[in-house]
Structures are given as C-alpha cells and as structure tokens.
C-alpha cells in the first residue's frame, strides 16, 4: 500500500467509527492498519478482546531481549460518541479548516496514532534500528482503559521496550502522572407494589438517601487530602468522588424496587482502589446501612438486590500513574521541548495498565485535551507536523 501523509492517514483512521461506548468494532480499522504495515521487517500480533474489539502489536528492529531497550509508542483507537447536535459536518469525515483538522478522534487520539504508524513504517524501511521499536494500539480505552488491561494479561511474561510514550493529547507537554478512575455501581433493593398501599412495599429510592448522605460526607472530607503527587494537580490536588448518575423507579404509581447509584472516583497516584472501596463501605455503614462488597464487569448486567441489600460493586479500575520525577526517560522527553515542569493530567490513560509489564511511561502527544470529547474536536496542524521529528529523536 502506498505511503500516506500523516494527515491523509489520520483521515483514513477517522473514517472508521470506533465508538467504544456503543460497542462499535475496531477490527475493520485493524484490518486496514495491518495491511498498511504489511512489511517484511514488521512483526504483527492481533489480540482478540471480544465483540470485534482487538489490541494490535507491531514491532520492528531487533526483537526485545528482556533488557527493556528500545521505545514503545502507545495509542488507543476507540473514540467517544459523536452524537452532539453541535457538529457542523459528519464527525467521521476529517475536514481541514484554517489551522486545524476536525473530526471525532482527530485529537483523542488518532492524530498520534497516524504519526506513530508512519514512524514505524519509516523505521522498517530504513532498517537501521539497534533496538526494538514497538507500537501498541489498544481498544476500549474510553470506557476505562479496558483494552490495555487485557493486553497486560495477553502479553504477560514477554519482553518489550520499557521506554513508553503514551500519546494522549497534552499539547506536547511531558506529563509524568495522571489520576486513576474507579467506576462503582451501588445497587439498593426494595420491594415493588402499588403506591396506594405503601405498607406493602419498600421504597428503594428512600433507602438510597442515607447512602447518598454517606457519599457526600466522604466527598467533602476528601477535599482536604494531600499526597506527594498532589503537586501534579494544582487545580484539584485531592482525590475526587462524583455521584454521576441515579436510576430508579418505573412509574409514578409503582413503588421503586431498585435504585442504582453510579459513582466515579479519581484517585491520586499512590492511592489504592482496594483501600478506597473500604472507605466507601465505612462511609455508608456509618449511616446505618449494611453493605455487601462485590466485583463486577462492565459487560454484564448488574445483580439484583433484595429489599435488605446494598451492593457496592467495583466495575472498573483505571489505575493512577506517575513516573519518578528523576527518571532518565522523563528528562529525555522533557529535553525534546525544553519543558522540565511537573505536569499531571486529571484524566486516566493506558500508562497505569502497562506498569505490570515494566513500562516506564511519559504521556506526551499533540492536541489539546480541552477540545477532546467535544463537538468539532480538532487537531492543530502545526502540532501534527511538529510531532514526528520529536519522536524520531527518541527513536534515534
């Protein structure tokens, strides 16, 4: 297949609707990328993640020998929904206006993906690498870095490069840490019935009220918490708990027999999801509600609760992450742009999932996270053009 410019390759990637929230497949995009990178010096592996989702691994140069040498470029191929009415054109047709390329995923993060794909092909053509260059394209990042979590299991025990660039949009600032994101569902049971006979039922929504009070009390106390990593997040230097949704009731004349509270928690680097779940349990039980802790799965229905139950279900954990402030690789990336400040990100990335594989990641990529997940998402053309040479310096 003929070599495309980064912009033209980005247009091809944007044309694939890979919306993970609606379970759109990534396999068609994977077929295209595998054909584009069909080269005798590129090694390819495809890892099935179910539902036509897959993780893609590409590598060129000498194979990894276990010493961690080389460089790994990591990006995700899924995107968030593009259903907002404010879109001024088809979100899956890239268009260029003035100084920007507009389309769903152009910024987050198919722009980086296009650059990384072309750099891998360029390195394979040159054939002069002394250490491996890897490219990992993950699925289902936008619903909780699920694909990267699967990859950590799929790849476990095998060598790969440890120096890792996770190319999320950071406006080309080297980000050394990010918060995690813990997804929780709290299912409170009741007993349904006709509201004309209230003594015969148990109102699950009313049973949820002390649970909400416990969560609010916990959220308020968290504002005062500080860790060493707090300096990375000057705007919000504390862990954040958000009651993000409440579902309950079916009709105005039916006693609600179930109430589901959806909670998101953004933990600081150094905080344990397991320990925080214990804190949630204690906060609810202080309000007189007995709690049963459970592990769940984003792809399965929530369990049913009886009129005496309050189930706290851990659905997904995107781990927080921070590279050591004195790490050589962090300095290496910072030198590219002469930016040695301590930058953190309030959003999660695949970096935390790759720690178990020995990866030492810096989050660094073109585009502004402020326009990601919004209508008319865009990538600045100057950053798209500037990034390849910066990454070439890391490859060299």
Are 375 and 84 a contacting pair, CB within 8 Å? yes
* C-alpha R_g of the chain: 23
Per the CB < 8 A criterion, the answer to whether 26 and 78 are in contact is yes
Q: How far is CA 54 from the centre of its chain?
A: 15
Nearest Cα to 259, choosing from 185, 313, 189, 200?
Answer: 189
Question: Rounded to whole angstroms, how far apart are CA atoms 226 and 146?
Answer: 28
Pairing of strands 133-138, 71-76: parallel
186 near 311, Cβ under 8 Å?
yes
- Active-site choice (108, 141, 257, 377): 141
d(CA 220, CA 308): 27
Structure tokens at 95: 């268009």
| SS3 state at 76 | strand
The residues that bridge with 310 in the sheet, in sequence order, are 188
| 78 among known catalytic residues | yes
Is residue 3 reached through a cis peptide bond, with omega within 30 degrees of 0 on the bond before it? Answer: no
Neighbours of 33 (CB within 10 A): 25
Quick one: how far is CA 319 from the chain centroid? 10
What is the rounded distance in angstroms from the CA atom of residue 117 to the CA atom of residue 75?
10
User: Which one is catalytic: 17, 54, 59, 78?
Assistant: 78
Q: Which residues of 157-175 are buried (b: 16+ CB within 10 A; e: fewer)?
A: eebbbbbbbbbbbbbbbbb
**Would you call 297 a catalytic residue per the annotation?**
no
Spatial distance between the Cα atoms of 248 and 216, rounded to a whole number of angstroms: 19
Cα–Cα distances in angstroms (integers) from residue 180 to residues 145, 150, 266, 275, 387, in the given order: 10, 17, 5, 14, 26
Q: What number of other Cβ atoms are within 10 A of residue 360's Cβ?
A: 19
Q: What share of the chain is helix, strand, coil (3-state, %, to 5)?
A: 30, 25, 45
Tell me the catalytic residues.
78, 141
């Amino acid at each position: 297949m003929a070599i495309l410019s980064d912009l033209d390759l980005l247009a091809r990637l944007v044309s694939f609707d890979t919306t993970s929230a609606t379970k759109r497949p990534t396999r068609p995009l994977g077929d295209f990328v595998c054909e584009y990178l069909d080269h005798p010096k590129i090694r390819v592996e495809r890892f099935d993640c179910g539902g036509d989702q897959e993780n893609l691994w590409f590598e060129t140069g000498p194979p990894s020998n276990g010493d961690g040498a080389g460089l790994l470029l990591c990006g995700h191929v899924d995107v968030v929904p593009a259903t907002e009415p404010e879109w001024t054109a088809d979100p899956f047709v890239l268009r260029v206006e003035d100084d920007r390329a507009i389309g769903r995923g152009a910024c987050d993060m198919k722009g980086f993906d296009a650059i990384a794909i072309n750099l891998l092909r360029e390195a394979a053509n040159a054939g002069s690498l002394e250490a491996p260059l890897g490219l990992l394209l993950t699925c289902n990042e936008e619903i909780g870095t699920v694909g990267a979590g699967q990859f950590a299991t799929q790849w476990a025990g095998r060598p790969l490069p440890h120096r890792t660039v996770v190319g999320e949009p950071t406006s080309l600032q080297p980000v050394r840490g990010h918060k995690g994101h813990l997804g929780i569902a709290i299912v409170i049971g009741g007993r349904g019935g006709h509201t004309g006979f209230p003594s015969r039922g148990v109102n699950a929504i009313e049973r949820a009220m002390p649970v909400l009070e416990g969560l609010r009390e916990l959220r308020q106390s968290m504002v005062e918490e500080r860790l060493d990593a707090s300096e990375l997040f000057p705007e919000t230097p504390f862990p954040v708990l958000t009651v993000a949704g409440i579902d309950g009731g079916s009709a105005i004349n039916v006693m609600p027999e179930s109430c589901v509270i959806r909670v998101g928690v953004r933990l600081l680097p150094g905080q344990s999801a397991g320990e925080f779940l214990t804190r949630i349990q204690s906060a609810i039980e202080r309000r007189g509600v007995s709690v049963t802790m459970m592990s769940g799965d984003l792809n399965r229905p929530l369990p049913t609760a009886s009129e005496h139950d309050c189930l706290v279900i851990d659905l997904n954990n995107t781990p927080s992450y921070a590279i050591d402030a004195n790490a050589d690789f962090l300095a290496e990336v910072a030198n590219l742009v002469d930016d040695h400040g301590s930058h953190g990100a309030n959003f999660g990335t695949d970096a935390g999932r790759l720690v178990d594989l020995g990866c030492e990641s810096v989050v660094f990529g073109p585009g502004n996270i402020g326009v990601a997940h919004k209508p008319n998402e865009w990538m600045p053309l100057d950053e798209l053009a500037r990034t390849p040479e910066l990454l070439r310096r890391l490859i060299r």
